[in-house]
């Protein structure tokens, strides 16, 4: 898979993914991380529900117990997800306390057992997202040992955030920026494990940068860059998936969201929970500020509905250079 959008807590929910799917028909989308306890015991419609149009879509799981992960993977497959991904990269304290996320990089034998249990439970791909190492562990030896042992359990696709994670001393936000990027280690991983599908993640902000990485690895995962400027995804299908059709226009994307907004609001979703993912659609264009302001100021008002989006779009169209924004 040449391009995918990273799982991002509080961001890549079903509303975000539906919006992103209107921009790119083929980019692989990921859920937020869902813990095994939530999958097994929680409200599955709220946690796992999605629109059929979101495919291809992958479910990211957090956990460290083979039986629980196997059961959660089986549930994910029953819900129709195209891939199950194990989180071995998140450095937050809450995740560490549950013995999953990046701390699992110190236990590759356990991760191999987890992957093996999930693969026995499902017929869809089981993949792993990791860092290059954690804390004081040496980067290349840690990454090589981790991938070698986990791939022996049958995992053939790894998404590697090309930074070390510091579980003590850095916040999750700092862990996204402070540790240096070591893209060359991910390239080396691909060269030494040519039979594996290796995707690279971390600090990739443009489609040109993604194209450069694809000369070395099989796939690119982008996160904050496409969330903050989602229209970047509009060029993905022609550039990376061989599509011939023209990219969707921004205005058309907004109009295509209106029936979805109506449907989701009938299901109880507040308007602001949907429009918050759309604030960056006109990033860098005339009218972008008016678009953001109108949504931010009006989406949370009592009685707000799709008409708020229509009015925000009208403000963009009244911009002196509205034809550019289209």
Active-site positions read 90
Long-range contacts of 287-290 (CB under 8 A, 24+ apart): 287/315, 287/316, 287/317, 287/318, 287/319, 287/321, 287/322, 287/325, 288/316, 288/325, 290/315, 290/316, 290/319
DSSP 296-317: HHHTTSTT--THHHHHHHHHHH
Q: Are 204 and 222 in contact (CB under 8 A)?
A: yes
Handedness of CA 214, 221, 261, 78 (dihedral sign): positive
Distance of CA 36 to the CA centre of its chain: 18
Alpha helices (runs of H) in 28-138, residue ranges in sequence order: 36-41, 44-48, 66-78, 93-97, 108-121
For residue 315, give Cα distances in angstroms to 16, 220, 312.
Answer: 23, 35, 5
Buried b (16+ CB within 10 A) or exposed e, 169-193: ebebeebbeebebbbebbbbbbeeb
Q: What angle is formed at CA 9 by the lines to CA 4 and CA 72, rounded to 5 degrees? A: 80
Token output for 297:
């100021």
Integer Cα distance of 13 and 16 in angstroms: 5
């Amino acid at each position: 898979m040449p391009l995918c959008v990273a799982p991002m807590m509080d961001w890549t929910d079903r509303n975000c993914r539906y919006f992103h799917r209107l921009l790119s028909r083929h980019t692989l989308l990921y859920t937020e991380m869902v813990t095994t306890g939530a999958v097994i015991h929680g409200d599955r419609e709220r946690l796992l529900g999605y629109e059929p149009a979101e495919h291809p879509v992958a479910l990211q799981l957090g956990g460290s117990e083979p039986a629980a992960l196997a059961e959660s993977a089986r549930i994910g497959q029953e819900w129709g997800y195209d891939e199950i991904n194990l989180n071995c990269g998140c450095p937050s304290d809450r995740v560490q306390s549950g013995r999953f996320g990046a701390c699992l990089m110190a236990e590759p034998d356990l991760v191999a057992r987890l992957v093996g249990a999930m693969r026995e439970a499902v017929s869809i791909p089981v993949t792993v997202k990791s860092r290059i190492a954690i804390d004081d562990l040496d980067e290349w030896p840690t990454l090589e040992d981790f991938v070698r042992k986990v791939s022996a359990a049958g995992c053939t696709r790894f998404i590697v955030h090309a930074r070390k994670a510091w579980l003590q001393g850095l916040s999750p936000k700092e862990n996204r920026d402070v540790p240096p990027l070591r893209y060359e280690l991910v390239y080396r991983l691909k060269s030494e494990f040519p039979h594996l599908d290796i995707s690279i993640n971390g600090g990739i902000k443009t489609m040109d940068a993604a194209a450069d990485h694809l000369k070395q690895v099989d796939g690119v995962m982008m996160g904050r860059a496409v969330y903050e400027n989602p229209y970047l995804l509009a060029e993905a299908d022609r550039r990376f998936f061989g599509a011939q059709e023209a990219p969707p226009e921004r205005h058309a994307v907004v109009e295509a969201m209106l029936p979805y907004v109506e449907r989701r609001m009938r299901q109880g979703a507040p308007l602001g929970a949907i429009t918050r993912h759309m604030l960056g659609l006109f990033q860098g264009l005339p009218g972008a500020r008016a678009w953001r302001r109108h949504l931010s100021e009006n989406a949370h008002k009592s009685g707000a509905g799709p008409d708020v989006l229509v009015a925000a779009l009208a403000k963009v169209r009244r911009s002196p250079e509205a034809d550019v924004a289209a």
